Amino acid sequence: MVIVDNVYQKVLALANKEQRGYITPQEFNLFAGLAQMEIFEQYFYDLEQFQRRMDNAVELIEEKIAIFKMGPVSISDSHALNTFINATTGEDHFYKIVQITKQDDNNGAIRVAERIEQEDYAMMQVSPLTQVTKTRPVFFIKDNGVYIYPETGANEIRYIRKPMSPNWTYFIGANESAIYNPNAADHRNFELHTSEENALVIKILQLAGVAIKDFNLVQLASQREISTIQQEKQ
């Protein structure tokens, strides 16, 4: 977990270093959510690339993703993916399917369902050799819903959820300035691994620079990003 106030203070310090303007809490929270999601989505691209190369970084990325793994959760044979709601925010938090299993209603055996494309299902049913059976269940995704066959036996899903949006909460002080309030009911830190603090600062500065059309700020953030990458490679 990355403390939201640590990131905000660093962002403010760097943005104000050369009088580049004040980033309000509202702007910060918006940029923070976008930055966290961008870093989160990059995990899956990096994981795929590193797995192909048998890179040692795979273990670290899997550790960063582990907190977002959910389930098993029981689902119907046709289930809307937007019904996976975050209990804290009340928002749809489904991101990606990890695994779907189906239980054979005759002998209780658990089978892992194979993901296919929707158009493949009809073709598979034509031949007895490729037909879907209790020992070879399948699923496909269509219109934000998952469809599991054969339509018999209980199903369970394991999935990856989205991170909750961070929220730097505050109250207005006597001098009309925003005072950090970590005790607010809707206060939320970043959910990303602690090692991502600098990456979050950089991403937020880049977004802020684009929003206020201060390309010097974008350049500053980009230079820090390049420096961080070079340090990681040493």
For the chain, the average pLDDT equals 88
Determine the pLDDT at residue 209: 76
> Between the ranges 19-23, 59-63, 126-130, 164-168, where is the mean pLDDT highest?
164-168
CA distance 159 to 143: 17
Single pTM value for the model? 0.84
Binned at pLDDT 50, 70 and 90, residue 231 comes out as very low
Determine the pLDDT at residue 223: 60
128 upstream amide cis, omega within 30 of 0: no
3-state secondary structure of 156: strand
User: Quick one: 40 exposed, middle or buried, by C-beta within 10 A (0-12, 13-18, 19+)?
Assistant: buried
Return the structure tokens found at 70: 């959910």
Whether the predicted pLDDT of 128 surpasses 90: no
Span 191-200, mean pLDDT? 94
Nearest Cα neighbor of 97 from 63, 122, 73, 120 is 73
Span 63-87, mean pLDDT? 94
Q: Count of CB atoms within 10 A of residue 186's CB? A: 8
Whether the predicted pLDDT of 140 surpasses 60: yes
Each residue's pLDDT tens digit, 44-62: 999 988 887 777 788 999 9
Helix (H) or strand (E) holding 165: none
Higher pLDDT, 120 or 222: 120
166 upstream amide cis, omega within 30 of 0: no
4 with 188: CB under 8 angstroms? yes
CA distance 163 to 93: 8
> Residue 198: phi, psi to the nearest 5?
-65, -40
Q: Count of CB atoms within 10 A of residue 143's CB? A: 8
Binned at pLDDT 50, 70 and 90, residue 143 comes out as very high
